[in-house]
Structure 1
Amino acid sequence: MKTLRKTPDTLRSARWFAPDDLRSSSHRARTMQMGYAPSEWMGKPVIAIINTWSDINPCHAHFKQRVDDVKRGILQAGGFPIELPAISLAEVMVKPTTMLYRNFLAMEAEELLRSHPVDGAVLMGGCDKTTPGLLMGAISAGLPAIYVPAGPMLRGNYKGKVLGSGSDTWKFWDERRAGNLSEVEWIGIEGGIARSHGTCMTMGTASTMTAVAESIGMTLPNASSIPAVDASHIRMCSESGRRIVDMVWEDLTPKRILSRQSFENSIAVAMAMGCSTNAIIHVIAMARRAGFDIGLEDFDVASRKVPVIANIRPSGDKYLMEDFYYAGGLPGLMSRIRDKLNLDTKTVTGRSLGENIEGAAVYDDDVIRTTENALYHEGALAVLKGNIAPDGCVMKPSACEKRFFKHTGPALVFDDYPSMKEAVDREDLDVTPDHILILRNAGPQGGPGMPEWGMLPIPTKLVKQGVRDMLRMSDSRMSGTSYGACILHVSPESYVGGPFALVRTGDLISVDIDARRIHLEVSDEELARRRAEWTPPPARFERGYGWMFSQHVRQANDGCDFDYLETDFGAPVGEPSIY
């Protein structure tokens, strides 16, 4: 039997409801006004359910029902559930990018927990930025919290072919541009590529980040990859509701769960999954919220040591997340890289990571490979540095053609997305497969918000010649479902005067992935001359949240968090009990 650390009188919510004074009387009266009897909440853990459901977020469409399953579990365990809606961040709908609002969600989640009479939280997310946003907020708030992933959608299907959201969108769009697909065929693909609610079923940012959430110990075991429409997902939701009540009694806060080793585990798992490049930005931000100095070097070290063993598109060539779950899911994968993990790290179960994966098995050796039969023995991600990106840039070697691992080519520079989009469709564009397409002013401040523009389209002229990959470089991001020889997250970004701003069309750029080097073949003297001529671009915002974002967002290599939200900013944050 577990030793309960808390008693009803020490619950945080008791400070709202228990005292015999006027203000607490008002709290009780207003709760009764909503139809709740005192016996439903007095002396019980009050559990916030932060729900990112909305009518325009297909990834979270089922959360309208799943929240009731979470509530059922909370009630069964003797807690009192309250649903608190938060910004939904529908990845495919929000412009210019949900990344502009990840920190907004993190702030909202933190303040929802701080300001309400709650003792613990269930975090309902899954669509790309909701996982890091909710976890960043919960880490900073400091209350017991458990994460409920939305789960991936079912496999896509068109005329008997299995489709993967995102990855096959880009592939077939090139065929459409090349004139190889009719409008009727294209509409058929649109209707078959996303055929249930849930997140992208490729190894995109959504599945990468829910795997990260599980590997740092913030979800129930095997929760991260359950298909959204599987009955197991319903059971996981109710079990998460039951578990958070016990976590409150145990005072099992993120601070007691997370360690530097937790985040090192998440990086190793991400590499083995063939993760989204976006994992770098989000894991850095989450770790620094928790007070741990995770950086680009941690990812590069792991990429040299941890093989890619999940055969999931786009790094893999065949399978999708539904296959991964039924092949053994994340516990199965972690069981095959046990020697790369710290198995003593804590989890929301109250047990260690090692205990959680004890007995885990793999049921399909082609979906989850052995380390000896890895898809790639190293190279899920690579961090490159050089005079064009002194603070680093990132690439996904496992999802690009090997001929680009060492390449020198002339730059073709675009200063904004609209001009790039217009130019790549011109038949007279002066471009060859050896060119390196450059898009700049698309970073955290320049985008604004660092949109997913990094998978620049192959120029139509080349697509019609059969070209399907070429080197592309930007200070933006790309979707985790994307693939190709894309160099991303150039830091510092061009908008704030990083060396990337000094590149000109025709300059030669050399890339050497094995050496982790990228170099602009221009003399220091010439770069100094260009620096003297450079003028800052106009401000993106002059008011509101966008202005605040621009004033305080960090660069990509620092996780793009707001400077004033990191743990080392200002005076130490007090415990939640002071609120």
Structure 2
Amino acid sequence: MSKTPDQTINPEFTSLFIEEGYNPYRSCIQGLSNEPITVRALLKRADALLQDEPGYAGLGDFSLPVIVGRLSSNRPRICIIQGSPDHPAHLYDHEHMLRAAARIWQNGGVPFTFGIPVICDGTAQSNIGQSYSLASRNQTAMAVNINFEGHSYHAAYVLAGCDKTPTGILSGLAAADRARRHPERGTAPVWAVFVPSHVLAGGVIPKDTRAKLQRIQDEARRIGDPQLADDIEENCHYILQCSSDEAFLGQLNRAVEHRIIERAQSDQILNELAAATCGEKGGICAFNGTGNSSRTLVSALGFVPRDSELLLDEAETEIVFRGIDSLFRLLNKPEFAVCEILAGNYANAIRIHNATGSSSNLMLHMPCVMRHAGFDVTLFDYERVRESHPVPDIFAHSLTEGRDTHVLAQQAKAGLHHGMESIYKVLADLGVPMDLGAPTVTGRTWGERIAGMATAVSPELPPERSVIRTTPIRDISGTDIMRGNFFSSCTLKVAGMSTEQFNRFDGRVFLVRYYENETLCNHELQSTTLVKTLCDSLDLPPELLRQMRRINGGDDGDSMEEMVVKGTVAFAFVIAGQGPKAFGMPEMFAPSAYLRHQGVLERTSILMTDGRYSGVTKGACVGHVTPEAFEGGGIGTLVNGDLLWVRLREQRIDLLDMDAFLKGELAPTTDAPREKRSVLVKERQARIEARKTQIAACSWLDHVTTAEKGVVPDSVDRRAVLPWNFRQ
């Protein structure tokens, strides 16, 4: 005998109806006619999945008349937003969604679901897919907004995955929430809970494959290239992941060039590595890239319940039900609407971003979300918060020492820390001015959430094993915003630099090596003769070399190759023509990986681009240069042999006056070379325009802002007029 609805509805929400002046499912009969069959089909599948689970109480009556009754009486309409199963983070979304749908119905609501395509940035590396990646964030925001508004949902339960998807979804929901504030709408605001996908465990290099790599290392040393052997050895110490596979590709290309192995052997090794990389459970990769940085962001913003933050596997029914219950407790409380939670937590999120060394991609996504919410927020608001109070590095994340995100999640499950709540407590205890009165989707403030915590990290966890540190690791952290005399702004993830590298590069002069696109740079950085190629290309006057020795160090008797190896002649590998309007602002992961695993030049050189970088990037990688080359930015005027003076502590990169430098002066040029190189710049812009046609026109980022405003559509930018008040 079937249970009655009253026996299965959660009593806490029995009398919950959304308080608003307009119900489209009452005022327009078409939705009331169309949508009940989608709800019934969803609930039939949910009931079939859960019927054998212990303690499952059933759904009661979910016939079409009952569904119609709930819709017409304005019961909570909750959409479950899921991703596409061709992405590893979304393998279990279907089952998760069905569990959520069941609980929504038990709580007296009406469940709906829709999915969105999710591009995997790892899959899209080094191919045209990276030119669609950032565009996908804006397209996700639009798609979510269209479905959410078109079907008149009240709230969202979001199955958040990797890269730009969480911020794209949050942007779309924030835009809907802001639009609903119009007095003529008569609708309730938008509420949302996010549940990040579980963490993907890193792989292990198969024993036979490791033996093959060792033989390559041995042969590399025998023929006189110990650096290649050392580079492979370093990479073997990382957990096996798609990003380390990319580094192996560059190293094996060097081995093929040396004729240590044939191309077929290289391909076989790469195949073996690929097959061992991802665990079959899927999830978000274990490195602290944009995927886990996005998890950190939505958690720091207060959108994630504690027990949903760091899952190790498919979400259990109990966790899903608690998440849905949390969402229901927010309904009819405008103080917990999406835009209110964003406004209250944005400064907190900036400080968390710094303390955890999160991806520099978030320097685009954070202002993007806020501008969709209607706030006039730019990159410089991030800078204002960052400079108002120092934030130490407290996140000892490591892919070589057993402290990756999978380990972080294991420690959370064991009760050794409480994820984001522990990070808030550590920073508050260290005197960082966190806004502990900010609201979260638990219905409690951060202050209330951490009030009962005696310690942020359990004393049972040895300090050297803990990812979250209660004692700061170092003072420098996060991402700096740089200025210069040939650009308006750019970013540098100092969290990706060692303290020694930061100190060594501060005040150094770099020689520009210019590339019009990533492909040309990748080809050169993978070469076994890169140092020789660079030396052969140089024809530097003695006085220039003398001045570089004076600034960068070095001995008078050094050969050119020794000067390059020592960093006396240090290079700024500049990749232009990769900005949003030029080529979709792809990640420059491949050149950063190839440079990082070119041991000689990694110690002495920087990358600089108007594109962006992968969240896992390490080293001196300067990105988001604005204005971009395509729009006449100064990065597009540089040529081989220009000199850049990098002052990290002053957060400046300046183009030097060559004549003054030869006289022993470090003087930034006062006349940008744009005019005298105008013909060259126009030729470059024409080639960028022609290259752009490789991208499908529907995904061009034409009518968007610069990186300083998050590369958002111009229409979103025009609506972002509300002041955001930084309270601390």
Q: Is TM > 0.5 for Structure 1 vs Structure 2?
A: yes
Of residues 499, 518, 533, the one that matches 1:429 is 533
Most deviating of 517-526 and 459-468? 459-468
Matches within 5 A, 1:82-97: 82-94=112-124, 95=129, 96-97=131-132
Question: Could you tell me which residue of structure 1 aligns to residue 398 of structure 2?
Answer: 313
Structure 1 residues 567 and 312, CA gap change in structure 2 (3 angstroms): farther
Is residue 513 from structure 1 mapped to residue 609 from structure 2 by the alignment? no
Of residues 247, 251, 258, the one that matches 2:330 is 247
Question: Could you tell me which residue of structure 2 aligns to residue 342 of structure 1?
Answer: 435
Of residues 274, 278, 285, the one that matches 1:200 is 285
Question: Could you tell me which residue of structure 1 aligns to residue 93 of structure 2?
Answer: 63
Could you give the per-residue CA deviations for residues 98-127 of structure 1, whole angstroms, max 9, x where no partner exists? 112110000111111100042211122221
Q: How far did residue 526 of structure 1 move?
A: 5.7
Is residue 107 from structure 1 mapped to residue 205 from structure 2 by the alignment? no
Residue identity matched to 1:212? L
Of residues 391, 409, 420, the one that matches 1:330 is 420
**Coordinate RMSD, CA, aligned:** 3.5
Q: How far did residue 89 of structure 1 move?
A: 2.4
Contact 1:475 1:490 in 2 (8 A): yes
Question: Could you tell me which residue of structure 2 aligns to residue 270 of structure 1?
Answer: 353
Matches within 5 A, 1:150-549: 150-158=197-205, 163=239, 165-166=241-242, 168-169=244-245, 172-173=248-249, 175-179=251-255, 183=266, 186-195=270-279, 196-227=281-312, 229=313, 235-251=318-334, 252-259=336-343, 261-300=344-383, 301-302=385-386, 305-313=390-398, 318-325=402-409, 326=411, 327-328=416-417, 329-338=419-428, 339-340=431-432, 341-360=434-453, 361-363=456-458, 364=461, 365-366=463-464, 367-370=466-469, 373-400=471-498, 401-402=501-502, 403-426=504-527, 427=529, 429-430=533-534, 432=564, 434-447=570-583, 449-453=584-588, 456-457=591-592, 463=598, 470-522=605-657, 523-525=669-671, 527-530=673-676, 532-533=678-679, 534-535=681-682, 536-537=685-686, 538=689, 546=697, 549=700
Partners of 1:459 and 1:200 in 2: how far apart? Answer: 20
Structure 1 residues 489 and 29, CA gap change in structure 2 (3 angstroms): closer
Partners of 1:81 and 1:25 in 2: how far apart? Answer: 14
Structure 1 residues 335 and 465, CA gap change in structure 2 (3 angstroms): closer
Contact 1:58 1:197 in 2 (8 A): yes
Partners of 2:242 and 2:83 in 1: how far apart? Answer: 22
The 3-state SS of whatever aligns with 1:83 is strand
Contact 1:50 1:84 in 2 (8 A): yes
Structure 1 residues 121 and 512, CA gap change in structure 2 (3 angstroms): same
Question: Could you tell me which residue of structure 1 aligns to residue 170 of structure 2?
Answer: 135
Structure 1 residues 213 and 405, CA gap change in structure 2 (3 angstroms): same
Question: Could you tell me which residue of structure 1 aligns to residue 65 of structure 2?
Answer: 38
Residue identity matched to 1:152? V
Partners of 1:321 and 1:541 in 2: how far apart? Answer: 37
Q: How far did residue 162 of structure 1 move?
A: 6.0
Question: Could you tell me which residue of structure 2 aligns to residue 122 of structure 1?
Answer: 157
Question: Could you tell me which residue of structure 2 aligns to residue 76 of structure 1?
Answer: 106
Contact 1:211 1:225 in 2 (8 A): no
Contact 1:154 1:201 in 2 (8 A): yes
Unaligned segments of structure 2, at least 5 residues: 1-10, 45-62, 178-189, 208-236, 536-563, 658-668, 723-728
Partners of 1:162 and 1:123 in 2: how far apart? Answer: 32
Is residue 555 from structure 1 mapped to residue 706 from structure 2 by the alignment? yes
Identity %: 20
Q: How far did residue 11 of structure 1 move?
A: 5.8
Residue identity matched to 2:505? F
The 3-state SS of whatever aligns with 1:156 is coil
Q: How far did residue 222 of structure 1 move?
A: 4.9
Partners of 2:577 and 2:403 in 1: how far apart? Answer: 36
Contact 1:344 1:352 in 2 (8 A): yes
Could you give the per-residue CA deviations for residues 354-378 of structure 1, whole angstroms, max 9, x where no partner exists? 212333431333324545x322212
Residue identity matched to 1:411? V
Partners of 2:457 and 2:710 in 1: how far apart? Answer: 34
Question: Could you tell me which residue of structure 2 aligns to residue 26 of structure 1?
Answer: 33
Contact 1:290 1:567 in 2 (8 A): no
Structure 1 residues 483 and 350, CA gap change in structure 2 (3 angstroms): same
Q: How far did residue 10 of structure 1 move?
A: 4.1
Partners of 2:439 and 2:307 in 1: how far apart? Answer: 15
Contact 1:106 1:136 in 2 (8 A): yes
Could you give the per-residue CA deviations for residues 410-431 of structure 1, whole angstroms, max 9, x where no partner exists? 1110001222223334435225
Q: How far did residue 512 of structure 1 move?
A: 1.2
Structure 1 residues 539 and 111, CA gap change in structure 2 (3 angstroms): farther
Partners of 2:714 and 2:619 in 1: how far apart? Answer: 32
Question: Could you tell me which residue of structure 2 aligns to residue 147 of structure 1?
Answer: 194
Q: Output the TM-score relative to the length of structure 2.
A: 0.70
Structure 1 residues 32 and 496, CA gap change in structure 2 (3 angstroms): closer
Contact 1:151 1:198 in 2 (8 A): yes
Q: How far did residue 27 of structure 1 move?
A: 4.2
Unaligned segments of structure 1, at least 5 residues: 572-579
Could you give the per-residue CA deviations for residues 482-537 of structure 1, whole angstroms, max 9, x where no partner exists? 21111111111111111111100110111111111101114344614335332133
Contact 1:425 1:461 in 2 (8 A): no
Find the structure with the greater CA-based Rg: 2
Partners of 2:423 and 2:595 in 1: how far apart? Answer: 40
Structure 1 residues 309 and 39, CA gap change in structure 2 (3 angstroms): same
Most deviating of 405-414 and 182-191? 182-191
Structure 1 residues 493 and 321, CA gap change in structure 2 (3 angstroms): same
Contact 2:490 2:622 in 1 (8 A): no
Residue identity matched to 1:102? R
Partners of 1:33 and 1:323 in 2: how far apart? Answer: 40
Q: How far did residue 167 of structure 1 move?
A: 5.2
Question: Could you tell me which residue of structure 1 aligns to residue 184 of structure 2?
Answer: none
Question: Could you tell me which residue of structure 2 aligns to residue 577 of structure 1?
Answer: none
Contact 2:596 2:619 in 1 (8 A): no
Could you give the per-residue CA deviations for residues 67-100 of structure 1, whole angstroms, max 9, x where no partner exists? 1222233223222211112222222334034112
Contact 1:225 1:330 in 2 (8 A): no
Partners of 1:461 and 1:133 in 2: how far apart? Answer: 30
Q: Output the TM-score relative to the length of structure 1.
A: 0.87
The 3-state SS of whatever aligns with 1:306 is coil
